[in-house]
Amino acid sequence: MISRADQLAFDAFVRETSDRLLRTAYLLTGDRGHAEDLVQTALLRTARRWSTARQDPAPYTRRVLVNLAKDRWRDLRRRPGEAPLEMDVAVPVTDGVADRDQLLRAARQLPTGQRAVLVLRYFDDLSVAETAAALGCSEGTVKSQTARALDRLRSALVPTTATTRENADADRR
């Protein structure tokens, strides 16, 4: 039986952190429905271990969330691939939305470990040590994965000078 004080503390924790956890889960999964499922499961597991987690529940729950996302990635790797749904209708978007969409598409192409490091470091604003703790790896791994992920994002988002020159040559013809 959980005490009334523990129930109130857990409820307050959920109100304070669920939006942030949902954003983190969305960035890890790229799908709102899966993100909501991960957050619900992470909160349920945190509630079950509230006597342990209540001292510092945010890192505890974040670690559960990351572990659930890793489990999902492993399951997805074992499944056969799915073809993306093709849409015939062009949807006009503003530059900000297009930029965000391009960034999310590029981030989804990153290996799962690199994506997790970027989400925790830059969107959740965790330190290297906190990210390492959440992922269960060394600080050196966090630093190297961050550097590799940023390099891959830069190359995916910034056209190379060769591509820019080729486009300029094609425009002149």
Token readout for 44 is: 């349920």
User: Which of 126, 131, 116 is closest to 27 using CA atoms?
Assistant: 116
Question: What residues contact 149, with CB distance under 8 A and at least 6 apart?
Answer: 110, 114, 115, 117, 118
**pLDDT given at position 154:** 87
The domain made up of 1-78 is a member of CATH 1.10.1740: yes
The predicted pLDDT at position 85 comes to 45
Q: What is the pLDDT of residues 14-39, one digit of tens each?
A: 999 999 999 999 988 888 999 999 99
pLDDT at 97: 58
Can you say whether the dihedral through the CA atoms of 76, 77, 82, 88 is positive or negative? positive
State whether residue 31 is helix, strand or coil. coil
The residue ranges of every structural domain in the chain are 1-78, 96-173
DSSP secondary structure string, 107-172? HHTS-HHHHHHHIIIIIS---HHHHHHHHTS-HHHHHHHHHHHHHHHHHHHS--HHHHHHHHHHHH
Provide the 10 A C-beta neighbour count for residue 57: 22
DSSP state of 3: -
Provide the sign of the torsion angle of the four alpha carbons 152, 157, 161, 167, taken in this order: positive
CATH 1.10.10.10 is right for the domain spanning 96-173: yes
pLDDT at 117: 92
Predicted TM-score (pTM) of the model is 0.64
Residue ranges of the chain with per-residue pLDDT less than 70: 1, 75-98, 159-173
